[in-house]
With several copies, the nearest count.
Chain A
Amino acid sequence: MSEAASSEQLLLRLEGFEGPLDLLLELARAQKLDLARISILALVEQYLAVIEGARAVRLELAADWLVMAAWLAWLKSRLLLPAGSPEADEGERAADVLASRLAVLEGLRAAALWLGARTLLGRDVFARGAPESFVEIDRSRFRLDMPSLLAAYLGALRRVQQAARYQPAPLTIWSVQDALGRLERLLGSLPDWVSLEQFLPEHLGQPEERRAALASTLLASLEMARDGVLWLRQEQPFGPVLVGRANGGTASTETG
């Protein structure tokens, strides 16, 4: 078979090759030589011939084919130089690199063949088709540990505390009823006109509590004034409200 003819055949099968190295490997094998002793120059020329042929028939070639062709053309130019020049040495080294890359690939191809020739599970031998599982998943239990118990307890306490903080602080409310009682009790010992504030209970802490008690006492005094138990007097707007005993002192007799 002539070299041209074999190139023709390769051209027809070009699409079947896995990239330029694959083709080079095939060409090298066609030389029927140990890969260590193949003629890189011959290989290069064959490759370039195939690419030329592909171009001639306008075969779409992927970029890596053309990149390899360009590199091989460069390599060829170096290999054709008389030995001894730096450029020629460069070419020799590049040829060695190419040869060793092909050798590695050849080794891997042999490994792939070796693997393919193994007794293959699913092709030559078969494993159990209906495996049985003895594994049971038990999800009935709970993961319990002290930290989460305590964290939950603290969480609950804190939440309850927080809820409590939103409630208005329990005020000591001096109700109108309380004020009525106190007014009636103190009215008997009243010497003369006395400021309404004198009737406020002792031990009032918060200012709000004091204001609330003042309001209750005022309401109580207004009620008692309406009933005629006492008189109220105010000299000027926002001035002190003065309380005086009504004539007759019925208040003390009424409350008994």
Chain B
Amino acid sequence: MEEEPLPDVRPAAPAEAEPSEMALRLAEALIFASAEPVPMRALGQILPEGEEVEVVLAALARRYAGRGVELVSVAGGMQFRTAPDLGPSLRKVIQQPRRLPRVAMETLAIIAYHQPMTRPEIEALRGTNLSQETLDVLLEAGLIAPQGRKEAPGRPTLWGTTSHFLAAFGLASLSELPRREDLLASPPTPT
């Protein structure tokens, strides 16, 4: 198996003296294991006598150049960091969906069944005021959208559900919503 097959790719730094392998290893280990960026002074303390901190760091940085991890100088000292280009591949987004507040869910359901409808119509149906906040939540979630205006005094906005609403609830079309009559199959009989 080939190991490091190309000595000519890694240019042996010309003029500058190569640091000892032990100095390189110590600097690498210390920066790796430290919880905070390692100040130059701390590196100087741990390195063997006669090693130049800058030279060691330069050699270490060269070793890590182009790799998955890079040596970077940040406020306070030296630190290893993941190569920036790998971030997107390593990022793991964990979805923690929230529950839609009850009022918002109710309003959404009413709009779904009675669209297009105006805000006063929603309020009349729910028998209570509809807060702007609730409307905003549904708008931001892309579940409802304005669908023109009603030809009535004040020309109020008509609201309806979006195609994202259908996708979110796994519906091919609005006609897949259970019929109201089926939902209310056994209405509470008023005695």
Q: Which B19-33 residues have a C-beta within 8 angstroms of A?
A: 29-30, 32-33
Q: Is there an interface contact between A150 and B183, defined as CB atoms closer than 8 Å?
A: yes
Quick check: which of B50-58, B96-104, B150-158 contacts chain A, the rest being far away? B96-104
Q: With A and B bound together, what is the CA distance between A68 and B129 in angstroms?
A: 13
Q: Is there an interface contact between A19 and B81, defined as CB atoms closer than 8 Å?
A: no
Cβ contact of B79, chosen from A35, A124, A127, A154, cutoff 8 A: A127
Q: With A and B bound together, what is the CA distance between A104 and B168 in angstroms?
A: 25
Residues of chain B contacted by A130 (CB below 8 angstroms): 34-36, 79-80
Answer whether A156 and B129 are a contact pair too, CB < 8 Å, given A111-B180, A125-B82, A134-B92: no
How far is the CB of B27 from the nearest CB of chain A, in Å?
Answer: 13
Q: Is there an interface contact between A32 and B190, defined as CB atoms closer than 8 Å?
A: yes
Q: Is there an interface contact between A138 and B93, defined as CB atoms closer than 8 Å?
A: yes
Q: Is there an interface contact between B82 and A126, defined as CB atoms closer than 8 Å?
A: yes
Q: Describe A's contact surface by its main secondary structure.
A: helix
How far is the CB of A72 from the nearest CB of chain B, in Å?
Answer: 12
Residues of chain B contacted by A112 (CB below 8 angstroms): 102, 105-106, 108-109
Q: With A and B bound together, what is the CA distance between A103 and B181 in angstroms?
A: 10
Q: Is there an interface contact between A125 and B180, defined as CB atoms closer than 8 Å?
A: no
A204 at the interface (CB under 8 A from B): no
Q: Is there an interface contact between A126 and B94, defined as CB atoms closer than 8 Å?
A: yes
Q: Is there an interface contact between A121 and B183, defined as CB atoms closer than 8 Å?
A: no
**Count the A residues whose beta carbon is within 8 Å of the partner chain — how many?**
70
Q: Describe B's contact surface by its main secondary structure.
A: mixed
Q: Which A96-136 residues have a C-beta within 8 angstroms of B?
A: 101, 103-116, 118-136
Cβ contact of A108, chosen from B83, B110, B143, B168, cutoff 8 A: B110
Quick check: which of A159-167, A215-223, A229-237 contacts chain B, the rest being far away? A159-167
Q: Is there an interface contact between B127 and A108, defined as CB atoms closer than 8 Å?
A: no
A29 at the interface (CB under 8 A from B): yes
Cβ contact of B112, chosen from A32, A111, A128, A160, cutoff 8 A: A111
How far is the CB of B160 from the nearest CB of chain A, in Å?
Answer: 15
Q: Which B23-76 residues have a C-beta within 8 angstroms of A?
A: 29-30, 32-36
Residues of chain A contacted by B93 (CB below 8 angstroms): 135-138
Known: A64-B128, A121-B81, A153-B106. 12 other contacts (CB 8 A): A107-B183, A108-B109, A112-B108, A118-B171, A121-B167, A121-B169, A126-B33, A142-B99, A144-B169, A146-B170, A149-B105, A152-B105
Q: 8 pairs across A/B with beta carbons < 8 Å?
A: A62-B129, A111-B109, A114-B183, A126-B90, A130-B35, A136-B92, A136-B93, A137-B93
Give me the interface of A with B, judged by CB distance under 8 Å. Answer: 18-22, 29, 32, 34-35, 62, 64, 68, 101, 103-116, 118-139, 141-146, 148-150, 152-161, 163, 165
